[in-house]
Amino acid sequence: MSGVRHLYLHLPFCSSRCGYCAFVVEVGGLDRRDDYADALLSELHLEGDVLGRLDTVYLGGGTPTLMRPRRLRRLLDAIRPRLAPGAEVTAEANPETVDGRQLEALVEAGVTRISLGVQSLQPHLLSALDRAATPDQARAAVACARAAGFASVSVDLLFGVPGQDPDDLHRDLEEVVGLRPDHVSWYELELKAGSALARCGVALPDEDAAADAYRTVVVGLEGAGYHWYETANFARRGHQCRHSLAYWGAADYLGLGVGAVSTVAGRRWRNAADLHAYVAALADGRAPRRSEEALDPDTARRERWMLGLRLDRPLALGWAGPPDHPEALPRLRELGLMEGGGAHEVRLSREGRFLQNAVLGELMEYA
């Protein structure tokens, strides 16, 4: 049971930056992909000692598929010896960047799960989001992914997009269900500091509109047989994302790449977000860490609550530790926000899941 079992690799290259995106992204710079892959492998070598048998690997971005299969294969070859049997290996992909051949190559390289950034299937919303893919490309990507033989096909969608009216949302819902993905992540659009969308000062929908949209998504996907297993995630039986579940279970993980975050044995660090600095540090044989924090027991406990309550399963107090304000529990039950659970576990009610932050605010100190 020793060693970190979850590995994240950040692949930052994108052909342009979408208006809502504030991830660590490198626009252009494709000629640096080989240097970057080298750096990643050096970092893997440098940090690899903490790793145990890997249960999950996640290639996230950016646009990992811009690395092309050759480089991804190189990376995966280096990781493969560390994989536990039955490991889940996910790659994110932007629909316009993939075709059948490439997806097959990913499967061959050992990727078992693909997460396609669809965001919406309505042309006007895609353009509002600066997305390069057309709805047709998104549909085609799902079909190709199926054909390529991934064990799990997931799509990312957004609600709360400015200009997205209830009809748009219903159409997206209908079409997504029609694509029959195994897994759906349906996020509420966030205005992230530093994104073009935040800068231009658009207003997101108000709380009631957002609440309506959220409920539409939850009810719609549940009606189509998906299990609402996490705040923004839905899966058919057996298709929950094990890598994300590790995050929500407060497991340790190692993150490699620019801006990647790791949490290992009570320490959390973040890598330099600048590609040059990252590559240069590793070329020197140095760890490219930029910041580090120690998670004291209280912080860790509060994080377990914060993460654990996202899931549709009871939070075991023996695992999570006590809440800061147990006296709030009866009132939360009375308000219908928490339910069931014995003396040893707590669980949000369905209504409570929509108010997760507020419930946490009642139970925990976060100071």
Ligand X SMILES: C[S@@+](CC[C@H](N)C(=O)[O-])C[C@H]1O[C@@H](n2cnc3c(N)ncnc32)[C@H](O)[C@@H]1O
Nearer to ligand X, 192 or 215 (CB): 192
Question: Closest Cα partner for 269 from 256, 279, 250?
Answer: 256
- Applying the rule CB under 6 A, the residues between 212 and 271 that interact with ligand X are none
Interaction residues for ligand X, span 108-147 (CB under 6 A): 117, 119
Q: Which residue has the tokens 């540090």?
A: 281
Distance CA 288, CA 12 (A): 15
Q: Which residues pair with 4 in a beta bridge?
A: 51
Among 88, 156, 168, 252, binds ligand X (CB under 6 A): 156
Break the chain down into helix, strand, coil percent, rounded to 5. 45, 25, 30
- Of 158, 176, 281, 348, the residue at the interface with ligand X (CB under 6 A) is 158
Binding residues for ligand SF4, rule: CB under 6 A, are: 14, 17-18, 21, 23, 25, 61-63, 94, 117
Q: How is residue 350 written in tokens?
A: 């369905």
Residue span 58-97 as binding mask against another protein, x where in contact by CB under 8 A, dash where not = --x-------------------------------------
Judged by beta carbon distances under 5 to 8 A according to partner kind, the member of ligand X, ligand SF4, another protein, none in contact with residue 255 is another protein
> Nearest 5°: phi and psi at 11?
-120, 100
Strands, E assignment, the chain:
4-11, 13-14, 26-27, 51-61, 83-93, 113-119, 152-159, 183-188, 227-230, 233-235, 254-256, 261-264, 267-271, 289-294, 315-316, 345-346
Is residue 231 a contact residue for another protein (CB under 8 A)?
Answer: yes
Residue 116, both tokens: 């396609």
- Residue closer to ligand X, measured from CB, 190 or 212: 190
Give the per-residue contact string, 173-212, with ligand X (x = CB under 6 A; - = no): --------------x-xx-x--------------------
From residue 325 to residue 364, the character string flagging contacts with another protein as x (rule: CB under 8 A) and all else as - is ------xx--x-x---------------xxxxxxxxxx-x
Q: Which stretch binds ligand X (CB under 6 A): 54-62, 237-245, 310-318, 332-340?
A: 54-62
Strand 227-230 to 233-235 pairing: antiparallel
DSSP-derived letter for residue 162 is T
Q: Rule CB under 8 A: is residue 268 a binding residue for another protein?
A: yes
Of 88, 104, 96, 181, whose CA–CA distance to 140 is shortest?
Answer: 96
The reply on whether position 228 binds another protein by CB under 8 A is: no
State yes or no: residue 91 binds ligand X (CB under 6 A): no
Closest contact distance (angstroms) between CB of 225 and ligand SF4 is 28
Task: Give me the DSSP letters along 242-291.
Answer: HHHHHHHTT--BEEESTT-EEEETTEEEEE-S-HHHHHHHHHTT---EEE
Going from the C-alpha of 330 to that of each of 174, 212, 345, the distances in angstroms are: 39, 28, 13
Question: Considering the rule CB under 8 A, would residue 198 count as an interface residue with another protein?
Answer: no
Residue with Cβ nearer ligand X (349 or 356): 356
Quote the tokens at residue 19: 């208006």
State the Cα–Cα distance between residues 182 and 175, nearest whole angstrom: 14
324 binds, among ligand X, another protein, ligand SF4, none (CB under 5 to 8 A by kind): none
- Which residues in this chain contact ligand X in the complex, by CB under 6 A? 20-21, 23, 60-63, 92, 94, 117, 119, 156, 158, 187, 189-190, 192
- Which residues in this chain contact another protein in the complex, by CB under 8 A? 6, 8, 60, 185, 187-188, 190, 207-208, 210-211, 214, 231-232, 244, 247-248, 253, 255, 259-263, 268, 270, 293, 299, 302-303, 306-307, 310, 331-332, 335, 337, 353-362, 364-367
